[in-house]
Structure 1
Amino acid sequence: MFDDKDGESEERVYLGGTLNMLDQPEFRDINKVRSLFSVFEENNKLKELLSHDQKGLSIMIGAENADQVFKNCSIISATYQINGKQFGSVGVLGPTRMDYGKAIAIVDYMNKQLDRIADREAPEDPDLDQEGRQLREQRKNKSSVCKRSGR
């Protein structure tokens, strides 16, 4: 979410590398690709896909994904925060046979960098509660925790 010039928050979804999916055998069926790409055009579904309340990384494989369109996909995502409050998400979507070690490392790295940048750029929040202050300290001192979410 970003604050616009009127002070209202605006949610944006950025996609990259979607055409790379066409190189994967799982996505050679035009109907599967059409279904996936139609979801990509629906910002609300994408936000739901990437959003979670879990701290650390979230990994959903195949049928664990809520939407049937993603039954042949895995989604690795993480949320980043500003002043202890969820601000955004970053993730990777790919076939269930993806290189999980590589994808997890990329999402974790990007999440840590976004957290670091957001904390550096954000003004100190006077309303930051004790839990928010503890989370900020933990991020400075520890690495991310990876949890697998099941549905």
Structure 2
Amino acid sequence: MLTERQLLILQVIIDDFIRSAHPVGSRTLAKKEEIALSSATIRNEMADLEELGFIEKTHVSSGRVPSEKGYRFYVDHLIQPQKLHNSELERIQSVFAERYYEFEKIVQNSAKVLSDLTKYTAIVLGPAVKVNKLNRVQIIPLNERTALAVLVTDTGHIENRVFAIPQDLNRADFEKVVNILNSRLAGVPLNVLQDKLFKEVSAILREHVDNYEYLLRSISEVFHLSEDEKLYYSGKNNMLAQPEFQDLNQIKNIFDLIEKEQDFSKILKKTPIGLHVKIGSENNNEAMNSCSLITATYNIGEEQIGTIAILGPKRMNYSRVISLLNLLSKNLTNELTRLYFWR
């Protein structure tokens, strides 16, 4: 159990290191207004904190820096959510100001605003397509042989696919096809669309559309969708501006991990509901040993559908990032819930 004096010194050390990225010595602490202690007392308390594993030296004659244990204690017990400036609140609100009706635009904007405000890397994990349901289909003729199919899901996810059509398909047939698809497939999970198409829709198409078999094969290809969750990134290169990431091998390992979308999706899918902070080795990934990952889940109604995350150095401004993530995840939940029930 740390004393009040040790708690104060630990918090000031970590706050100062987060701000400056320089090891903190007893002389620096003695000049702080909030610490009314002698340099000798501060040195003794720092020695105790080091022995307890909360701070450590970067080399023999240096000041101290927080250890992973120190950061963990700091996040769990010492920080309070930071009050955001009006300008930051306005930037968060700007994500939704244009009243977007597409899931992709909302999350892409969310990631960009977060990376701009934090100067870290923002990642948003969208829902797996397979858990979405079809909301509606639109088919737009492009020329005599091709058309554009637009699939809209219940979460606002949009897929655009160009497909081949029979040469003799007229406008009236197009309207019939669209009406049949929407009446029979609206509300159907995307991962069973093809099964439903061949078992139920094909018989109806046969009755109403000439050369329906060719059209059926083309539509089947349109409904063949990836089942993986989609990642949206912003601010990947922000890592390069952090003094911790000047080692080329280290930053290469981090970038390699980020580029492997399936691997990073697995990391985000394992995050529990709510807001969570993983520091260094807690991420269970060697490439992230020098990083912290802060995640917040977002929902549609009561259903969790995705995760928004900030990846940065362990020397992260946790209080501010947590406040920003909390606010954005709540607003994202509210907006996506509005879109879902509006549809």
Give the TM-score taking structure 1 as reference length. Answer: 0.74
Structure 2 counterpart SS, 1:122: helix
1:48-72 per-position Cα deviation (integer Å, ceiling 9, x unaligned): 2222452210110111111111011
Query: For the structure 1 residues 84 and 75, does the alpha-carbon distance in structure 2 shift closer, same or farther, using more than 3 Å as the test?
Result: same
Fraction of identical pairs, as percent = 32
Larger radius of gyration: 2
2:333 aligned with 1:118, yes or no? no
- Aligned AA for 2:297? T
> Which region of structure 1 is more displaced relative to structure 2, 8-17 or 53-62?
8-17
> Which region of structure 1 is more displaced relative to structure 2, 102-111 or 91-100?
102-111
Looking at structure 2, the residues matched to 95 and 57 of structure 1 have their Cα atoms a distance apart, in angstroms, of 18
Query: For the structure 1 residues 111 and 7, does the alpha-carbon distance in structure 2 shift closer, same or farther, using more than 3 Å as the test?
Result: farther
Looking at structure 2, the residues matched to 49 and 96 of structure 1 have their Cα atoms a distance apart, in angstroms, of 17
Structure 1 counterpart SS, 2:233: coil
Partner of 2:107: none
Partner of 2:276: 58
- Aligned AA for 1:20? N
Looking at structure 2, the residues matched to 89 and 67 of structure 1 have their Cα atoms a distance apart, in angstroms, of 19
- Aligned AA for 1:117? E
Partner of 2:249: 31
Query: For the structure 1 residues 102 and 7, does the alpha-carbon distance in structure 2 shift closer, same or farther, using more than 3 Å as the test?
Result: farther
- Aligned AA for 1:37? F
Offset, 1:10: 5.0
Highest RCO, 1 vs 2 (Cα 8 Å, sep ≥ 6): 1
2:290 aligned with 1:75, yes or no? no
- The answer as to whether partners of 1:57 and 1:108 remain within 8 angstroms in 2 is yes
Runs of 5+ consecutive residues of structure 2 not aligned to the other structure: 1-126, 130-152, 160-222
1:72-94 per-position Cα deviation (integer Å, ceiling 9, x unaligned): 10000011111322211101010
- Aligned AA for 2:314? T
1:8-48 per-position Cα deviation (integer Å, ceiling 9, x unaligned): 55521011111111011111111111111111111112112
> Which has the larger share of helix?
2
- The answer as to whether partners of 1:40 and 1:46 remain within 8 angstroms in 2 is yes
Write out aligned runs for 1:1-151 (5 A): 1=127, 2=129, 3=153, 4-5=158-159, 6=223, 11-52=229-270, 54-123=272-341
Structure 2 counterpart SS, 1:40: helix
- Aligned AA for 1:101? S
- The answer as to whether partners of 1:39 and 1:46 remain within 8 angstroms in 2 is yes
Query: For the structure 1 residues 17 and 53, does the alpha-carbon distance in structure 2 shift closer, same or farther, using more than 3 Å as the test?
Result: closer
Partner of 2:32: none
- Aligned AA for 2:234? G
Looking at structure 1, the residues matched to 279 and 323 of structure 2 have their Cα atoms a distance apart, in angstroms, of 17
- Aligned AA for 1:120? R
Query: For the structure 1 residues 64 and 28, does the alpha-carbon distance in structure 2 shift closer, same or farther, using more than 3 Å as the test?
Result: same
Looking at structure 2, the residues matched to 48 and 10 of structure 1 have their Cα atoms a distance apart, in angstroms, of 10
